[in-house]
Structure 1
Amino acid sequence: MATTLKMIINKAFGLNIISEVPLPELSIVSDSIDNVDIVIEYRDLFDLWEQSSKPNRYFSVKKNSVLFHVPNVAIYLIENGKNIYVSPSIGAHEDQIRLYLLGTCMGAILLQRKILPLHGSAIAINGKAYAIVGDSGAGKSTLASSLLNKGYQLLSDDVIPVTISQKGFPIVTPAYPQQKLWQESLDAFGMTSTDYRPIIERESKFAIPVSSKFSTEALPLAGVFELIKTNHDEIIIDPILKLERLHTLFYHTYRNFFISDLGLREWHFQITAGIANNVPIYRLQRPIDSFSANDLASLILNTIKKGE
């Protein structure tokens, strides 16, 4: 680590992070270097990638390490749930480098630390956490934004960290106070894109700070909603039952293709089985051709109320 740089500790996913790469999205804890969970450093990884990579493959995963290459952005190495090394490509923008640090790298770190990363948004509602999972483009962040507009708080966007308490209950830990929304969602909510920074230069997805709507408290996971797009004209919600719950949780584990090579299949089964046995899981189908986030949010709130 470059000793000439003044390091500050950031907080995200319940972890203290010290980084040579600026991470303005995260909350600053202090300028002390005590009690650091994750260290992010620059390192030349080109030779390691040349030795480890295979043709047409972007990832090299071993039991204690994840090495991956994003062309024209950077090579990343994640080791032992503690260290992230970054080797930027010439001309790569910091926004692009940071995107993978806070996404794939954090997903790998969480798995290495045996913290389940679900792919979605988590919302704090009446003292409990509710996860909205789904494929990229399903509308998870847009639905979460509708719930924020109704007065609820964000716990996480994109990567949801879930642990199991000593009493055996799943707990969601806050990530960091930012959402990512596409231009169409901003338009639907009456928001102006010029007020926000694009996630990647020249793209129409924007970083939306939500510090005033962010929950800093870890909360029990009380429900999971799988959001999918369909050709139906109406919104449909159904409970997901029995073994299908395990498949749903595996499918929506962030970077689930790391699990086997990291030697985590048994652990992943145990933690997802614990969630499946204790938490209701629903499939929420939305029309593909219309804006339905507000109606979906109301349906989620009514479903929660009935469950209580």
Structure 2
Amino acid sequence: MTSDYALCGWRVRIDRPSTFAPPWIGEDRPVDITIRHAAFSPPSPPLLFESPLVGVFAEGAIVLRINPGLGFLIEGGARITVDATAQTGEAEIATFLFGQCLGFLALQRHQPALRAASVVRDGRAVVLAGAAGVGKSTLAAALMAKGWGLLADEVTLIDPRTLLIPPALGRIKLWKDSATLLGLEAAALPAVRPGWNKGHAPYGGHLAPAAVPLAAIVLIERAYATRAPGITPIRATEALTPLHDLLHGTILAGALAARPACFDLLTRVVSRVPVLRLSRPWHGMTVDALVEMITAEMAR
């Protein structure tokens, strides 16, 4: 049985029910993306790019093979085939399907997405970007505990013309100690992968109902001795490189002829909204303090 869902502003049709994706409640328009579960064979050569997990084939088809029991074929910016064994649970599939796969598909569509969380307050969106493990998702969850809304956790799509960010998934991936700190029942969260101490936390009630204009991007980094903790503005030219590094699939952009789209998005963003650096120490600063810093900054 197929069902339609809303992801990043797209109408997505999936061949089985999903407890992760929000339902489509928009107008009756053509489906943008279809997702089906079936075995697949690798596309025909030539192979344009190859890494241990990812291959880009002719006409931009992407194969993401997580392990022998789980793989994805992403084609034409419009189709994803999920090849999973019966033992692979929905939570593990969702970890990659609604994360890396969605980011790769966006790049195929020449609509590059940031590997970032995004939250909203008073009709203004704030993107929380940074390297893996810097605390983006935990900070987003802590902001929601103070009344902010959610747009995305891992795949933040920004329209380069309007700078609107559409809502993505009403879930956040949290380490279970962070979930406990935030008052969630960590043991009940579906694990992102078997044996991992990280789970999918449900925040569907906080998901924004429609796209929201981007107000600022916050680059989160760990503060070293040479840089004091706090929030400081970054020049547009200085922000381009770290933001480029945080786009989904930048290493694949050449094979997908998507480099101009990446450049266009980033130059438009940094020329029209402030980019801020949030330097946080390795120890001694609570997530509540970070929430207060961002809330105060956005109230200016």
TM normalised by structure 2 equals 0.90
Match of 1:23 in 2: 18
Which of the residues 120, 142, 145 maps onto 1:124?
120
Q: 1 CA distance for matches of 2:46 and 2:255?
A: 18
Maintained 8 Å contact 1:225/1:281: yes
The secondary structure found in structure 2 opposite 1:198 is coil
2:193 equivalent to 1:200: yes
Q: 1:180 to 1:261 in 2, by over 3 A?
A: same
Q: Provide the rounded CA distance (Å) in 2 between the counterparts of 1:23 and 1:240.
A: 40
Post-superposition offset of 1:234: 6.0
Match of residue 69, structure 1, among 51, 65, 71: 65
Q: Which residue of 2 aligns with 1:235?
A: 229
With 234-243 and 261-270 compared, the bigger mean Cα shift is at 234-243
Q: Deviations over 1:40-95 (max 9, x none)?
A: 12333345499959986322224532122111342211111111112225743332
1:249 corresponds to: 243
> After superposition, where does 1:33-112 map in structure 2 within 5 Å?
35-46=30-41, 48=43, 57-62=52-57, 63-89=59-85, 91-112=87-108
Query: For the Cα contact (< 8 Å) 1:143–1:293, is it kept in 2?
Result: yes
Give 3-state SS (helix, strand or coil) of 2:12's partner: strand
Mapped contact 1:73–1:93 kept (Cα < 8 A): no
SS of equivalent to 2:153: strand
Moved more, 182-191 or 102-111: 182-191
* 2:152–2:167 contact (8 Å) kept in structure 1: yes
Residues 46 and 75 in structure 1, CA contact (< 8 A), matched pair in contact too: no
- Deviation, 1:237, is 1.9
- Match status 1:188 vs 2:181: yes
Q: CA deviation at 1:34?
A: 6.0
Distance 1:288 1:262, change over 3 A: same
Q: State the match for 2:269 in structure 1.
A: 275
1:209-253 deviations in Å (ceiling 9; x for gaps): 112212112011110001112345963222111311211220111
Letter in 1 for 2:60: N
Q: Which residue of 2 aligns with 1:14?
A: 9
Q: Which amino acid letter does the alignment assign opposite residue 231 of structure 2?
A: I
Distance in 1, Cα, partners of 2:103 & 2:79? 13
Residue in 1 that maps onto 2:217:
224
Moved more, 16-25 or 239-248: 16-25
- Tell me how far apart the structure 1 counterparts of residues 29 and 265 of structure 2 sit (CA, whole Å): 30
Distance 1:217-1:90 versus aligned 2 partners, 3 A rule: closer
Amino acid at match of 2:139: L
Deviation at 1:193, TM superposition (A): 1.2
CA contact (8 A) 2:43 2:61 kept: no
TM-aligned CA distance change 1:291 to 1:182, over 3 Å: farther
Letter in 2 for 1:202: G
> Deviations for 1:133-164, whole angstroms, at most 9, x for unmatched residues?
01111100111111101111011111101112
Give the structure 2 partner of residue 214 of structure 1. Answer: 207
CA contact (8 A) 1:153 1:213 kept: yes
For 2:243, the aligned partner's letter is L
SS in 1 for 2:299: helix
Residue type matched to 1:173 in 2?
A: P
Shift of 1:260: 1.4
Aligned pairs for 1:135-214 within 5 A:
135-165=131-161, 169-214=162-207
Distance 1:33 1:78, change over 3 A: farther
Deviation per residue, 1:68-126 (Å, 9 max, x gap): 21113422111111111122257433322222111111001111223231111101111
Separation in structure 2 between the aligned mates of residue 13 and residue 143 of structure 1, nearest angstrom:
21
**Mean Cα deviation higher: 48-57 or 192-201:** 48-57
Residues 69 and 50 (structure 1 numbering): CA distance in 2 closer, same or farther, change over 3 Å?
farther
Match of 1:284 in 2: 278
For structure 1, which runs of at least 5 residues remain unmatched after alignment? 1-5
Contact conserved, 1:73 with 1:96, CA < 8 A, in 2? no
Q: CA RMSD in A?
A: 2.5
**Greater shift in the superposed pair: 10-19 or 93-102:** 93-102
Q: Give the number of aligned pairs.
A: 297
Query: In the TM superposition, what is the alpha-carbon distance from 1:283 to its structure 2 partner?
Result: 1.2
Distance 1:70 1:163 in 2: 30
Q: Offset at 1:202? A: 2.5
Segments of structure 2 that go 5 or more residues without pairing to the other structure are none
Counterparts in 2 of 1:292 and 1:9: CA distance versus 1, 3 Å:
same
User: Partners in 2 of 1:257 and 1:235 — Cα distance?
Assistant: 31
